[in-house]
């Protein structure tokens, strides 16, 4: 199963692979070179398909928990001053996605979207300390009955060239529902109240909509 954001790119990639394969068969006489070209094209197609996959999962929304918005590895857990929306200290949990991770972004909590903003920017590597402030990114805040305002930020990486954000101010969203998509490598930061109990550790691998990032303390 593939995400809708990948349909156009998958179609283009398939056309390119088929076209170049036909050209290789027609004009490359050396069988070793021709075979190498075909293998490289097949690998390219597999990588594209892998990136846009959207595996079917059995989600169980949990009102007392903040779930990971994406698949990846936890790279930051720290108290920071969040200056775009809160202007106060928050607990930041960041999940880094490699190109082979599922890149669907899901709402970590349910509630009402009270803030949603796109910021153009640079394309520093996603783990760079300044990427959350200088890279292309979107910031979404969902007002939740248990945790209050929960902010999460999609951040483009060195390879990501487009962030898709579905959240609009006023939307009532369900935990684990699609919030967006980041194309080709990225990271998501989640900002939580200081009294939140963090349930993950650094370098832990998490799954979007499944892994529990935090609970009420």
DSSP code string of 150-172: EEEEEEE-SS--EEEE---TT-E
> Do 154 and 116 sit in the same domain of this protein?
yes
DSSP summary character for residue 70: S
> Do 29 and 72 sit in the same domain of this protein?
no
Average pLDDT over residues 63-84: 94
Domain range for 212 is 65-216
For 20-62, write each residue's pLDDT tens digit: 888 888 888 888 888 888 888 888 888 777 767 777 788 888 8
> Do 145 and 182 sit in the same domain of this protein?
yes
User: Could you give the residue numbers annotated as active site?
Assistant: 186
pLDDT of residue 59: 83
Is residue 121 in a domain? Answer: yes
pTM, full prediction:
0.80
Is residue 182 in a domain? Answer: yes
Say how far residue 118 (Cα) sits from the centre of its chain: 15
> Do 45 and 116 sit in the same domain of this protein?
no
CATH code for the domain of 155:
2.70.70.10
């Amino acid at each position: 199963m593939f995400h809708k954001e990948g349909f156009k790119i998958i179609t283009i990639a398939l056309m390119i692979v088929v076209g170049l394969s036909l050209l290789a068969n027609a004009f490359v006489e050396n069988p070793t070179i021709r075979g190498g070209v075909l293998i490289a094209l097949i690998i390219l197609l597999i990588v594209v398909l892998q990136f846009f996959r959207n595996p079917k999962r059995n989600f169980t929304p949990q009102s007392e928990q903040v779930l990971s918005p994406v698949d990846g590895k936890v790279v930051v857990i720290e108290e920071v001053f969040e200056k775009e929306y809160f202007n106060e200290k928050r607990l930041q949990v960041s999940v880094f996605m490699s190109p082979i991770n599922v890149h669907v972004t899901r709402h970590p909590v349910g509630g009402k979207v009270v803030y949603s903003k796109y910021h153009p920017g640079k394309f520093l590597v996603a783990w760079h300390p300044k990427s959350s402030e200088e890279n292309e990114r979107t910031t979404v805040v969902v007002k939740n009955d248990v945790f209050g305002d929960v902010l999460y930020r999609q951040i483009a990486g060195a390879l990501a060239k487009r962030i898709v954000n579905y959240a609009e101010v006023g939307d009532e969203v369900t935990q684990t529902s699609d919030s967006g998509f980041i194309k080709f490598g990225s990271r998501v930061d989640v900002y939580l109240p200081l009294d939140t109990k963090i349930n993950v550790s650094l370098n832990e691998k998490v799954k979007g909509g499944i892994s529990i990032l935090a609970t009420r303390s």
